[in-house]
Structure 1
Amino acid sequence: MARPREFDEEAVLNAAVECFWSRGYEATSVRDLIEKTGLTGASLYNAFGDKRAFYQRALDHYVETSILDRIRRCEAMAPREAIGSFFAEILKRSLDDRTHRGCMLVNAALDVVPHDPGFQDIVAGVLTRIEAFFLGRVRAGQVDGTITLALPAEDLARHLLGVLMGLRVLARARPERALLEGVVSPALALLDAIETARPPRCHVV
């Protein structure tokens, strides 16, 4: 019969997220994780496996409690409001991030994915989920008239995903309000673009 774990798994995963997020995967040692989580080496390996497996659990935990939680909250809003609120929260998190850690998922895409095809699938899956959120909100907004029909919903969703990724990378190196807001504002304005009817041509008699 397996013995019950003698630690708070969520607290340990939160500590691991902070460790990997602050230092990056390569720079984080098993000793760092032991010190941060308070687990012994044996307990860490028994519960989570090796460093790579522990990183995957930590990244999954970050995605679930940060990215997917935000998506779920925004999906309950009106379409155009949902997209605006999503980016407003990202802007706030980016500007409040005094250590310039950025997004753990984006960091994984830049630091880990190039050397680990397994993590490429993981990160790609989350990016697909974010794109699906944008696509769903854009389509709903095009139906209720709050989002332009001038561009296909698929193109707008991909554009928003690209803006999000660029924003999170910029925030690590240049976390300046004017810069970050200047990236987001045109993307949101594009959603609100209104097609105007062409004036009738004047025929010279």
Structure 2
Amino acid sequence: MARPRQFDEDRVLDAAGEIFWAKGYEATSTRDLTDRMALTHASLYNAFGDKRGLYLKALQRYLDRNLRSRIARMEATYSPGLTIVGYFEEIVERSLADAEHRGCLLVNTALEARSDDPEMQRAVADETAEIEAFFLRTVTAAQASGEIPANQPPEDIAKLLLSVQFGLRVLVRVRPERELLNGILRPAMAMLTLPWPLPESRPDG
């Protein structure tokens, strides 16, 4: 009979995610993980299999707490067009507030994913498809409501916004400059006839 785990899985996944986010997958050692997670090597491997298994679970935990919760909150708060604006505005604010300039764990994973690691590549690809689907449904709804012109296929706009997000997250690691990020987003939002940033009268999110 398997013994119950003697630790809080969410807590240790958060701890693992923090060290992976700061150092990257390859540079993070098992010692780094056990020290941060306050687990023995045996407990780590018994619970998560190996470093890759732990990383993928920590990545999913990060995405649940950050990406998916942000999408749900924005979609519940704003009109479709302003959902896009609010989503990017929060990315900018969180990125600039991060003193370590870590960027995004998903984007960092994409940069580290190697051709000989199809499991990692597939995990990243699945998440990018989820983000693209979010953009597609918001753009489609915003075009239907008249917030965004219908002169471009929503599928193309969704792909463009996905590339903008990834570009922002890479740049902020080396150039965490508000005007640089605003300079990218102003024309992107203007192309969609959306304001940048959100109007001052926006509801609280």
* Larger relative contact order (Cα-Cα within 8 Å, sequence gap ≥ 6): 2
In 2: Cα distance, 1:147 partner to 1:180 partner: 22
Task: Note the C-alpha offset of 1:151.
Answer: 1.2
Task: Note the C-alpha offset of 1:133.
Answer: 0.5
Structure with bigger gyration radius: 1
In 2: Cα distance, 1:116 partner to 1:61 partner: 20
SS in 1 for 2:108: helix
Task: Note the C-alpha offset of 1:119.
Answer: 1.0
Aligned length: 193
In 2: Cα distance, 1:192 partner to 1:156 partner: 13
SS in 2 for 1:68: helix
In 2: Cα distance, 1:85 partner to 1:145 partner: 18
Gaps of 5+ in 1: 194-205
Distance 1:37 1:128, change over 3 A: same
> Percent identity at matched positions?
54
1:60-99 aligned at under 5 Å gives the runs 60-76=60-76, 77-99=78-100
SS in 2 for 1:98: coil
**More deviation, 83-92/58-67:** 58-67
Q: Partner of 2:42 in structure 1?
A: 42
Deviation string for 1:63-111 (max 9, x for gaps)?
1111111111122231011101100100001111111111000000001
**More deviation, 125-134/113-122:** 113-122
Return the letter of the residue paired with 1:157.
A
In 1: Cα distance, 2:73 partner to 2:99 partner: 25
Contact 1:25 1:112 in 2 (8 A): no
Contact 1:75 1:133 in 2 (8 A): no
Return the letter of the residue paired with 1:182.
G
In 2: Cα distance, 1:161 partner to 1:186 partner: 15
Give the alignment's Cα RMSD to 1 decimal. Answer: 1.2
Gaps of 5+ in 2: 195-205
